[in-house]
Structure 1
């Protein structure tokens, strides 16, 4: 059992994460802990218990400023944690540096303050968290001068704000942007895409616009998995879930306008959707006009643009038929945080297997399809296939051979374009 004088850095961080980022499935909230905390030991002969690692997961190695904060996340924070009553509707990007007792019994809180301050160019608020008894008045004064929050953690897990920061603007770097993306309705969560045909998501705006009950229309004309269709339509930015009900986004409205222009009514359009049930033919060939709509919708999904741009660059460099392993290794060099979030499962065991303490890939682990995120390698890839972007459809992780899984562009551009 921990005592006030033995609170380690992983324990301090776990208590802090639970306080600032509770597991309450809040919207627009997401946090990752640095990969150094995914290891078996924190200090020599000081293991990190499995239960503690599970509290800290998911792990990623996110560069913010000149280093890698212990935790980076997005969430609307309680007012007592900030020096303002209201911070607007957009949740702030937050970085946390944790400090605990080391082998010699010291806690370097002031270094944590300086590290947190370094993150402020790219986040909205930064904190140092440490055992309360180790926080000196000089450390608090320094934090106040640098606009860094100070969180006192006690052995029972209570987290008390000693100094609260002001929200600041920032120039968000790409790595931090990947975490912001994960916190949005379009982030790659476990329930992002449950179906692998784009017609099931395109049909949802039509069902909303139809005068009959949405779920009935969708189940009868498009797909019986209504919840999965709704979830995917949300992730593709076709609908918003408002407090007073579902609403079409501008992109969703355009899908409806296309249907009205093409068929005269959404009812007539949905009759054609009914005829496509259980079809395995590539959608852009089965229904070329709807294939173009699909391409427009999936291109608006932020992950698509990055994938296509990087696949084109790989083609330019002579890698015209990259495997999933080739793609992930390539992407991780250029976009490490985004790659981990997009392709790897967020579970403790997967990210510990695939990522080193410094956030590097262990290539041998990528040969196991089970480490990959199904909504990306199965459902998203299948939609890119149906839209005419990729040459091959996706596969479920348990049936996936990552070295043989082809991610080639269907229509790569000439190198000298």
Structure 2
């Protein structure tokens, strides 16, 4: 970055690097407001490509009565907080940034904006050039419990004032960001396989005697071992620890289901061999197992939202909505969740698909490459195999969103 006075996008990029240094870290997720997704910030003032790359992904997330410049979830280091973090859940963090303009730096306004976010955020910060923070600003920030991050010309970020973590009320928008930061959040690697049997087989092989990977291969369950483990974790069947994998209560219930019907998990795994390379809908091929998979899939938060809103569309007379129609409808009622669930997180897609006000642009929604493969391909395929949807999913490269139907198999 240049040594010129720091602009607001530059300040925000430095602050994001300090607060969220590892984007792929477990329990971490952050988005920056869509106003920063364009090529310009102020008239004639371009946003550098490296800055936009740092700021991505973009979304328009309402927190309090407005839209913070950055909102994310992460367990913060003690030096960023006034007291040690209490509890295990990482805090929801909101950041307002202010840079140098022809009127100076409006630090006071940034503090007041950040304070407003504490209605729903656990911690709020204002990020500003370090030399723009006055003693009056620091006093106001302390009184309002707002953290102040001072950014110098080199990009170094220091906490000038540290906030206390506070409780808040849960909202749909904040819940969507928390969901993305969780082990079940939608990411490029969340679901690598498109059949629920591959994930049901993992806790069985893990429980059985012998190598989990070898058992999955020997019984022709799945050879993509890492994808099976990762998907089982996303569905809440196993808990991935740094040194081991453990069955969750839901995973143990899958084991109980198998033992009750076959006497042991080895007998259940042998049954999986009968389904090897079958293209038939699992709901019709193995109804009992598909019902079990349906319960597992329905415990996944995104499934519940999709089913309820597809039912609402049916009630309104839309029995066979296309992907484009579904996304446009969902964005009206769950905007943040819809963007995170369906649209790829890279700079190109989000900046083209979303206006600076967070509205959807029609043209990118008609392009298959705009969508998250784990949602439109793998998750949809599993919803089909468990008898929830009428049609399979498709890879984004082969997807026509205007013809891709999302319809419930059973409507009530």
- With normalisation by structure 2, the TM-score equals 0.98
SS at match of 1:186: coil
Listed one character per residue, the Cα deviations across residues 155-207 of structure 1 (whole Å, up to 9, x for unaligned) are 11100001000010000211011000000000001100000000000000001
Is the partner of 1:87 in helix, strand or coil? coil
Q: What secondary structure sits across from 1:142 in the alignment?
A: helix
Query: Does residue 1:139 correspond to 2:137, yes or no?
Result: yes
Q: 323-332 or 364-373, which moves further after superposition? A: 364-373
Displacement of 1:338:
0.1
Partner of 2:218: 220
1:340 is aligned to: 339
Tell me whether 1:11 sits opposite 2:10 in the alignment: yes
Alignment of structure 1 residues 16-415 onto 2, 5 Å: 16-23=15-22, 25-102=24-101, 104-221=102-219, 222-413=221-412
Instruction: Render the CA deviation track for 1:350-405: whole Å, top value 9, x for unaligned.
Output: 00110000000001211100000000000000000000000000000000000000
Residue 233 of structure 1: CA displacement? Answer: 0.3
Give the length in aligned residue pairs: 411
Cα distance in 1 for partners of 2:96, 2:389 equals: 41
Secondary structure of 2:94's aligned partner: strand
Task: Check the 8 A contact 1:369/1:399 in 2, yes or no.
Answer: yes
Which shows bigger deviation, 272-281 or 335-344?
272-281
Task: Supply the distance in 2 between the matched residues of 1:254 and 1:266 (Cα, whole angstroms).
Answer: 12
* In 2: Cα distance, 1:139 partner to 1:333 partner: 38
Q: How big is the shift at 1:220?
A: 1.9
**Which deviations, in whole Å up to 9, do the C-alpha atoms of 1:236-276 show, x marking residues without a partner?**
00000124411001110100000000111100000011221
Shift of 1:24: 5.5
Q: Aligned with 2:62: secondary structure?
A: coil
Moved more, 215-224 or 187-196: 215-224
Q: Is the 8 A contact 2:204 2:255 kept in 1?
A: yes
CA distance, structure 2, for counterparts of residue 177 and residue 24 of structure 1: 19
Compute the displacement of 1:85 (Å). 2.5
Runs of 4+ in 1 over 3 A off after TM superposition: none
- Note the C-alpha offset of 1:284: 1.0
Aligned-pair CA distance for 1:88: 2.5
> Alignment partner of 1:39: what SS?
coil
In 2, Cα distance between equivalents of 1:220 and 1:369: 36
Preserved CA contact (<8 Å) 1:123 1:172:
no
SS at match of 1:275: helix
Is the CA contact 2:85–2:165 (under 8 Å) kept in the aligned structure 1? no
Q: Distance in 2 between matches of 1:37 and 1:31?
A: 14
CA deviation digits over 1:340-359, x for unaligned, max 9? 00000000000011000000
For 1:387 and 1:7, locate their aligned partners in 2 and report how far apart those are by CA, in whole Å: 53
Distance 1:59 1:25 in 2: 16
C-alpha displacement at 1:309, in angstroms?
0.4
Residue of structure 1 equivalent to 2:2:
2
> Structure 1 CA distance, aligned partners of 2:348 and 2:160?
35
User: In 1, Cα distance between the equivalents of 2:271 and 2:261?
Assistant: 11
Over the aligned positions, Cα root-mean-square deviation in angstroms equals 0.9
Specify every segment of 5 or more residues in structure 1 that has no aligned partner in the other structure, as ranges. Answer: none
